[in-house]
Structure 1
Amino acid sequence: MDAFLVATGIVALAEIGDKTQLLAFLLAARFRRPLPIVLGIFVATLLNHAFAAAVGALVSELLGPSVMRWVLGLSFLAMAVWTMIPDEIDETEASLARFGVFMTTLIAFFVAEMGDKTQVATVALAARYSEMAMVVAGTTLGMMLANVPAVYFGERIAGKVPLTLVHGIAALIFAGLGIATLLGAGERFGF
């Protein structure tokens, strides 16, 4: 259950102001059809984060426990720094309209999420926790918690969310996980 809760919280916070959330705003404004957009986000996130979690689990198996502890600890610290860097959306990521609303969203989100903060966080969380399904469920829920309101309420809430504060909280959580991992908090998990 820890894996699910940590993954949900971290990704929900890290996603606020992230380029995929900006993409959700853009798609909602362009298509004005929230349900297929939300379904596209869900499917793209589930596929992308399942792949990322599989990579994280593989990395965890390939590296020894002591190396894994350092890799994870430093990765979480790097995520803390990266979270504080604002994202921008590439307009070409949302220019797939010929595929319809659902497929445009699915493709744009899947591609935009490649190498994104939340995907990298999913890799690290899956390497940290042995419950891969709980990590994927948590990171997917975190993405949905951040993006569904963006799709449905868009511009009405965009200016009311203090992004610096939210990013600061996410960065502190990542830093806390990194420090705890480096200090041996993951030893009960084998690294």
Structure 2
Amino acid sequence: MDAFLISTGLVALAEIGDKTQLLALLLAARFKRPWPIVGGILVATVLNHAAAGWLGTWLSSQVSEFWLNLALALCFAVVAGWTLIPDKLDDEPGLMERYGAFFATLVAFFIAEMGDKTQVATVMLAAQYDSLFWVIAGTTVGMLLANVPVIWLGNRAANTLPLTWIRRAAAAFFAVMASYALWRAFLLS
């Protein structure tokens, strides 16, 4: 259950102010159909994070626990710093004009998540925890917790959130995870 709760919390915090949240806002404004957008986010996240989780699980079976924890500590520290940098949205008008809300959301979210900090976090969490299912479920729920309210509440709520403080909280959470992984590595040495 720890894998689910930590994965949910990390990703939900990391997603606030992220480019995928801006993408959700753009899609909601463009299509004005929330359910297909939510469905597209769900499917894209499950597919993307399942691949990332599988990679994390595979990496954990290939590397000793000591080196894995050192690598995790470094990655979590890098993602903590990365979280402090605000994202900007790259516009994809051709995709939105050609396809409906569900397919446009699925493709746009899947691509936007490639190499994103939440995908990297999913790889690291899957490497750290033995339960791939709960990591993927947690990261998916975290994505939905951060993005679904944006679809319904729109620009009004997004503009009132203290994004700087939320990014700092997310960075602190990633820094705590980095410290924990570093501590585990030194226990193994």
The 1-side partners of 2:26 and 2:104 are apart by: 12
Distance apart, 1:66 and its partner CA: 1.0
Point out where structure 2 has 5 or more consecutive residues left out of the alignment.
Answer: none
Aligned pairs (5 A) from 1:175-190: 175-184=175-184
Structure 1: which 4+ aligned runs deviate by more than 3 Å?
A: none
**Which residue of the partner structure matches residue 94 of structure 2?**
95
Identity of aligned residues (%): 55
Point out where structure 1 has 5 or more consecutive residues left out of the alignment.
Answer: none
* 1:102-150, Cα deviation, whole Å (9 max, x unpaired): 0000000000100001100000000011111000000000000000001
Distance apart, 1:186 and its partner CA: 9.7
The 1-side partners of 2:120 and 2:69 are apart by: 16
The 1-side partners of 2:157 and 2:26 are apart by: 14
Distance apart, 1:12 and its partner CA: 0.2
Aligned residue for 2:17, secondary structure, equals: coil
**Which residue of the partner structure matches residue 16 of structure 1?**
16
On the 8 A contact 1:128/1:186 being kept in 2, the answer is: no
Distance apart, 1:62 and its partner CA: 0.9
**Which residue of the partner structure matches residue 63 of structure 1?**
63
The 2-side partners of 1:47 and 1:19 are apart by: 18
* 1:67-94, Cα deviation, whole Å (9 max, x unpaired): 10100011111110000011111002x5
Aligned residue for 1:95, secondary structure, equals: helix
* 1:136-183, Cα deviation, whole Å (9 max, x unpaired): 000000000000001111112011110011111110010001011101
Tell me which amino acid in the other structure corresponds to 1:73.
A
When the two chains are superposed, the root-mean-square deviation of aligned CA atoms in Å is: 1.5
TM-score (normalizing by structure 1): 0.95
User: Does residue 166 in structure 1 map to residue 186 in structure 2?
Assistant: no
Q: Relative to structure 1, is the Cα distance of residues 115 and 109 closer, same or farther in structure 2, using a 3 angstrom cutoff? A: same
* 1:8-60, Cα deviation, whole Å (9 max, x unpaired): 00000000000111100110011111110010000000110000000000111
